[in-house]
């Protein structure tokens, strides 16, 4: 009787094991296929609106190998890039602002990090005659890029801020102006 019950349970166990294997494979495939960062050489192929996200993913991966102060700046830059995507989606690819963003994120930032990586690791922290090490130059360059990302983002948003101010003024004149006129004596 015991063997008969075990023999009948085998198909159920086999199905359970197969389901677990399929689930594991699906999870493993999902993890490897999800949001693969582009290689630095391929960032310039990313569509303009997707470039900030692609660069942020690449930068987060690269930050793991950077010295602590540079890694912190890289993480900050990656966070700052999140706000840029929607702004860039409204830009035409041939506009000067689009060229500036593409050059900064797809060329100059990757070049800075790859140039640092080309310095042998034991020499990266060693100060040179000018008193700065390769690590110092990297931190300085990342700080400059962070400032430029903030400037570009502000410049891209300035049109929206101006349009919002115009809309606010219009509403103020239309709705509050009439109320102000109606409350004046002798009007």
What is the pTM for the complete model shown?
0.68
pLDDT tens for 45-69 read: 788 888 999 999 999 999 999 999 9
With 60 as the cut, is the pLDDT of residue 35 above it?
A: no
Other Cβ atoms within 10 Å of 134 Cβ, number: 21
pLDDT tens for 107-159 read: 999 999 999 999 999 999 999 878 899 999 999 999 999 999 999 888 888 77
Tell me which range, 9-18, 34-43, 102-111, is most confidently predicted by mean pLDDT.
102-111
């Amino acid at each position: 009787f015991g063997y008969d019950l075990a023999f009948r349970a085998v198909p159920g166990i086999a199905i359970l094991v197969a389901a677990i294997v399929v689930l594991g494979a699906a999870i493993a495939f999902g993890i490897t296929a999800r949001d693969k960062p582009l290689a630095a050489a391929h960032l310039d192929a990313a569509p303009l609106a997707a470039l900030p996200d692609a660069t942020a993913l690449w930068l987060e991966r690269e930050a793991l190998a950077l010295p602590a102060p540079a890694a912190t700046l890289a993480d900050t830059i990656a966070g700052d890039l999140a706000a840029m995507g929607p702004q860039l989606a409204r830009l035409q690819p041939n506009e000067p602002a689009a060229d500036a963003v593409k050059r900064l994120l797809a060329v100059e930032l990757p070049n800075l990090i790859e140039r640092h990586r080309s310095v042998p690791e034991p020499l990266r922290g060693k100060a040179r005659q000018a008193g700065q090490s390769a690590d110092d130059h990297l931190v300085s360059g990342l700080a400059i890029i962070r400032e430029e990302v903030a400037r570009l983002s502000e410049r891209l948003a300035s049109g929206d801020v101006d349009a919002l101010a115009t809309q606010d003024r219009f509403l103020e004149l239309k709705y509050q102006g009439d109320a102000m006129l109606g409350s004046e004596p002798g009007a």
